[in-house]
Amino acid sequence: MSRGKDESDLNNGEAKSSQDSTNYMFQEGDEKLLKKYFSPQVLIYDPLKAGSIDGTDTVAHDKAISRALSASYCPPRNTGNPEKTLLVARLNPKTTENQLTEAFAVFGKIKSCKLIRCIVTGMSKRYAFIEYEEKAGAITAYRKGHKMKLDDAILLVDFECEHLLPFWIPRRLGGGLGGRKESGQLRFGSRDRPYKKPIPLMKNTSHR
């Protein structure tokens, strides 16, 4: 099952249709096209679109996007089930795997919880992956765990992108989603930074 179908079901129609690979220049009155082709969350990863607030860019606006467009990436073999796995980010640096497991076990039986740490310092990188025994647990956690407060941190919960989004390019290669405004390399189409609906271009009604 695709990430797009999951998110359409989970968000009660937030992602109503898959993105088309064509860049549309919407004109005034093209509401039907917007409704048909617009999705606030990315369903097929495209670095060029992810770098645009409304997913309509046709030219890379930073060097990282150019790097992502020419990158070739094959996700590592996944030992778990990506459809049952969630990304939990923006953790308090002091939050442990046990605390995270306890907090998210209320949504379903957890198969594994992996807190990502720096290989040099061993310190938390402030995100983790939680795999549930059943898909229903992951769906419930996706719905109810997002923006949950844990150790004074407001959590971001989303499905694991690397194995669910077609053509995914990770952040280290110039892709990814989200990011900090200060970096000048924001990526849109995620749950926390959804695309904004394109503003239809006004028709030229001037006369010579």
Q: What is the pLDDT of residues 43-89, one digit of tens each?
A: 889 999 999 998 888 888 889 999 999 998 888 876 789 999 999 99
Chain segment 83-103, per-residue pLDDT in tens: 999 999 999 999 999 999 999
Rounded to whole angstroms, the Cα distance separating 129 from 151 reads: 18
Model-level pTM? Answer: 0.72
3-state SS, residue 69: helix
Q: Taking a C-beta distance cutoff of 8 angstroms, is the pair 87, 129 a contact?
A: yes
Nearest CA-CA partner of 111 in 146, 83, 143: 83
Residue with tokens 């647990």: 137
CATH number of 30-69+81-183: 3.30.70.330
Q: How is the chain split into domains, by residue range?
A: 30-69+81-183
Q: Taking a C-beta distance cutoff of 8 angstroms, is the pair 117, 186 a contact?
A: no
DSSP-derived secondary structure for 30-44: -HHHHHHH--SS-SS
